[in-house]
Structure 1
């Protein structure tokens, strides 16, 4: 009786699906390397993130992550803090000397010096046109800012109560108010347009929770953010960049 011949098993080697999978992984790796090569990495934030990751993995004490910062970047960070403090003190002294309206609050926020006004000082409820009595107040703001070598971003903020007018949102109110302020300052030649920008955030950046009439009143405001000029921002990339703050 004749024996049946055994079928050829096809030899050794990786399964066919493994070759396709390897190609896919290689392509993904190449893609992400390409993205990384084109990315604009914030060196200080990236270094701090690496330090925090090392701390989480037990390679480095998480409290010592600042030690991994290059000395030149640490020096820049210290210079920024000192510069911010000098700007803050300079404006505070001018407010005291000029006896500026007590409703103009001076605060530090997100690494910048901010002049903060409640919206009721400039606008009627739900309106975007400036009150007539807002003019002297904005002139005082311009008088404070004009001698400083700083750009100013005007930010509009609202509470979370929906606007009663159809087709109008809190986003619209906030940005239109900021633009109204910028138009006033430029049309009266109080500040050059090159130093000004406008942004609106609606109810997305409250100071406090919108859980009472008093708190909602605090959140309805116009902030005047004073920032270093563009050349200084290029040297210190972790400064606030108004181009990254726009909501749309």
Structure 2
């Protein structure tokens, strides 16, 4: 009697194993993605979440509005230890660049501030940069660029009325701050997303009194190095760099 031949087993894994492996791989990818986003901001999280929902086919209209929600930029003071270390570093850089005579370095409002007298950058009553100011501004940009901080350009004036009655100290302070910002942008010295400009007029004097020396100290442009947190609502006449294009 002839023996029955054994049936050969089907080659490869069972069909259900392929589907199961795909599901496990997708789950692993999903959790690795969640882990990689542990330190990301809320905007990036919602972007990724919306993409995942869309891939699985149940992206809701409410999710779309969440994904398109604009990111809110905020600014906060730096801690004292960091301010001190940053101050020492910038001071050394100023001395090495040999522009420490033109720029005063101060610690104020939880930030490090580069303070430049208006006479170095502008003629009296003018809002156009002097040609001799351009090398100094290039040095300032080169100093700020490697630092992982934002730069706020502040214009300040004294309390004397401008010779032209059609403009105010507010106008002069804003236009001077914007002139510096435009120079940085036009020369591609600093990225625009790190820059903002603001004018205070004569509302923040650094020297009391009405003497010529005190008034000269109050006429200045300040470069404020700062961290992220909300400050827009606290500053008058705020001008963000993103709103300055086209010039």
Partner of 2:235: 245
Aligned residues: 163
Where structure 1 has 5 or more consecutive residues not aligned to the other structure, the ranges are: 1-76
Aligned to 1:61: none
CA distance in 2, matches of 1:245, 1:178: 14
Instruction: Name the structure with the higher helix share.
Output: 1
Q: Which structure 2 segments of 5+ residues have no match?
A: 1-76, 239-247
| Corresponding position: 1:220 with 2:219 | yes
8 A Cα contact 2:174 2:237, kept in partner: no
Q: How does 1:88-99 map to 2 (within 5 A)?
A: 88-99=87-98
SS for the counterpart of 2:101 is coil
Say whether 1:129 aligns with 2:128: yes
Contact 1:160 1:210 in 2 (8 A): no
SS of the residue corresponding to residue 167 of structure 1 reads coil
Residue pair 2:111, 2:224 contacting (<8 A) in 1 also: yes
Shift of 1:105: 1.0
1:170 maps to 169
1:72-87 maps to which residues of 2 (within 5 A)?
A: 80-87=79-86
* TM superposition shift of 1:108: 0.7
The answer to whether the 8 A contact 1:88-1:113 is kept is yes
Tell me the distance in 1 between the aligned counterparts of 2:121 and 2:139.
13
Residues 222 and 167 from structure 1, CA distance in 2 versus in 1: closer, same or farther, beyond 3 angstroms?
A: same
Q: Which contiguous aligned blocks of 4+ residues in structure 1 show a shift greater than 3 angstroms?
A: none
Other structure's SS at 2:163 match: coil
RMSD after superposition: 1.9
How many Å separate the matches in 1 of 2:83 and 2:100? 23
Task: Give me the whole-angstrom Cα distance separating, in 2, the residues matched to 1:122 and 1:154.
Answer: 13
Structure 1 position 243, deviation (Å): 4.5
Q: Secondary structure at the match of 1:207?
A: coil
Identify the residue that residue 18 of structure 1 maps to in structure 2: none
Cα deviation, residue 98, structure 1: 2.5
Does the 8 Å CA contact 1:153/1:242 hold for their aligned counterparts? no
Asked if the contact 1:119/1:221 (under 8 Å) is kept, the reply is: yes
Shift of the alpha carbon at 1:85? 1.1
Measure how far apart 1:150 and its partner are: 0.6
Alignment TM-score, normalising by the size of structure 1: 0.62
Shift of residue 247 of structure 1? 4.2
CA distance in 1, matches of 2:186, 2:163: 30
1:101 to 1:81, Cα distance in 2 relative to 1, 3 A: closer
Q: State the match for 2:193 in structure 1.
A: 194
Question: Does residue 104 in structure 1 map to residue 103 in structure 2?
Answer: yes
Q: Mean Cα displacement is larger for which, 81-90 or 141-150?
A: 81-90
Structure 1 counterpart SS, 2:79: helix
Work out whether residues 112 and 226 of structure 1, in 8 Å CA contact, stay in contact via their aligned partners in 2: yes
Take 1:94 and 1:214, find their aligned partners in 2: how far apart are those partners?
28
C-alpha separation in 1, matches of 2:209 and 2:171: 19
Shift of residue 242, structure 1, vs aligned partner: 4.7
